[in-house]
Amino acid sequence: MYSFLQFLKTIRQLKDIKRQGILYYGVKEKDVDSAVDHSFRLAVMIWLLGQGKKMNLAKAMKLALVHDLCKVYTGDITPYQGLFPKKDKGFRLAWRWRRLSLKEKEKRHKEKFQKEQAAMKKLTANLPPAMQGDIMNVWADYQKMESPEAKFVLQVDRIENLLEALECFENDPNFPTQPWWEHADEVVADKELLSLIDEISSEEERISNKRRKGKGETSKIRKKKLA
């Protein structure tokens, strides 16, 4: 059990891994969710939203718990890792939301996969073979994105990210939620999840309207909806 104990001590470090995408927009590090915060809420969402779906719910929850373990060694790798000039300490480039080309996305995805795969092998290297195999198989399932469980977890993952962005917007009216809306729009298709997306959109509108009323404004913002 010594190796298992060391594994548990190592993954505890996830609580210190902050979500980099949020930091790009000026949110103080102490106010940003950690990888643990994300994985915990994601697992709860999978558990409650996965009821009655044509999939293995236990497997889906395992995917949620395992999908970010590699960050212990890799940190939180974003699609824009390395794109910001070293002198751009305020990440001003992030405020000019840009889309990466498909070729660039594929290149970055491959590099990210290789780094994270190496991290997972390192993380599980000393575990008993059965534990190591189980964790690596679950992680590989998520990476392949072929099973109904993996596809569902990815959709909920994007919604959890969007929810964090909404919370940042609630604290700061200048925080841009649009990038997270676009990320969710790329993958969310489940009917029930789209209903949750609509509710998040309505909540953002309520927050904006409350601010407008506080300033004596009466104009309405356009409600975001995913196709």
In a domain, 226, yes or no: no
222 part of a folded domain: no
Tokens 């964090």, residue located: 164
Q: What's the token pair of residue 195?
A: 């209903």
- On whether residue 123 sits in a domain, the answer given is yes
What is the per-residue DSSP string for 148-209? HHHHHHHHHHHHHHHHHHHHHHHH-TT---HHHHHHHHHH---HHHHHHHHHHHHHHHHHHH
Does a structural domain hold residue 225? no
The whole-number pLDDT of residue 74 equals 94
Domain-embedded: residue 22: yes
Q: 149 with 60: CB under 8 angstroms?
A: yes
Closest to 47 (Cα-Cα) out of 35, 61, 36, 59: 61
- Flag whether 227 is in a domain: no
What SS3 state is found at 105? Answer: helix
**Cβ atoms < 10 Å from Cβ of 48:** 8
- What would the pLDDT profile of 80-116 be if each residue is shown by its tens digit? 666 665 555 554 555 454 566 778 778 888 888 999 9
Q: What pLDDT does residue 105 have?
A: 77
Q: Is the dihedral of CA 124, 46, 36, 145 positive or negative?
A: positive
For residue 196, what are the domain limits? 2-214
Low-confidence ranges of the chain (pLDDT < 70): 79-100, 216-227
Q: How many domains does the chain have?
A: 1
pTM of the model: 0.85
Q: Give the integer Cα–Cα distance in Å for 175 and 36.
A: 23
Contact partners, residue 93, CB within 8 Å, separation at least 6? 83, 84, 85
CATH number of the domain bearing residue 203: 1.10.3210.10
**Residue 91 maps to a domain:** yes
Q: Judge whether 188 lies within some domain.
A: yes
